[in-house]
Structure 1
């Protein structure tokens, strides 16, 4: 395992692209966490209102918030799995190049899995947004009458 300085530079270059992808996934995780925090805050407000007096609107909104919470949790899980796979890909890229291990198929497979997880995360986020918009649209129609 005699590694030259030029080889280290090449290995670092290989690992840079997944690091940029990892940065994007981390940013997406921040967005998802912020959405989850807003859902949790709104849930606390509604539960406090329900403690004071039963209210059908509050109960209905809590049901919608629970659905949104589930979808955001799925999106968070998918994004985290994607980030974890990207980290493993970076490690395998280093091992592949420095230890001359034949890890190319594993790297390709993990990259595909990471992209599937990222796609799933976007689908769950989009679904959560649609649930939110549908509730707001229904609520606006009710108040307009």
Structure 2
């Protein structure tokens, strides 16, 4: 009887090491994707702060040239939010795909044994929860993005509501 259920007693160490490498590679990739998503969200938060400051400055702008400059700055910030939106969306899909790849690799590496069904069930639950976390993160990001869009839209509308005194 093998000391480790699920592994055949005469199975070479190399195949066990390969199984471990196969299982860990997607985990490192998922960790990297998570770090990128954190970076993208931090940058998106900074852009949001810039939008708020530029919007406030636009409301207080004294002359037409300053308002025009702030409007261009807000347009630039809007483009940045679109790029960060795409980055976050692609990162979340990449994370979910990594989980799917890990699941496929894991299923392909299993042998017939009594413990195999438990391993599949537990690993599948972990992957499903990770995919669910990424999906809810994406939903949260969509809500936050909507807020940015409203701020940017409001700032653009505010630009047109400011009356310019004659001679400026």
TM-score range (shorter-chain normalised) is 0.5 to 0.7
8 Å contact from structure 1 (residues 11, 93) kept in 2: no
Instruction: Give 1 or 2: higher helix fraction.
Output: 1
Max radius of gyration: which structure?
2
TM-superposed deviation, 1:17: 1.1
TM-score (structure 2 length as normaliser): 0.52
Structure 1 unaligned runs (5+)? 101-145
Between 1 and 2, higher relative CO (CA 8 Å, sep ≥ 6) is seen in: 2
1:28 corresponds, among 30, 36, 49, to: 36
Q: Which runs of 4+ in 1 moved over 6 A?
A: 5-9
Residue 16 (structure 2) pairs with residue 4 (structure 1): no
SS in 2 for 1:86: helix
Structure 2 unaligned runs (5+)? 113-168
Which residues in structure 2 correspond to 1:1-145 (within 5 Å)?
3-4=6-7, 10-53=18-61, 55-98=67-110
Q: CA RMSD in A?
A: 2.4
Alpha-carbon distance in structure 2 between the residues aligned to 1:41 and 1:15: 40
Alpha-carbon distance in structure 2 between the residues aligned to 1:8 and 1:88: 22
Pair 99,48 (structure 1): closer, same or farther in 2 beyond 3 Å: farther
Counting matched residue pairs gives 99
TM-score (structure 1 length as normaliser): 0.59
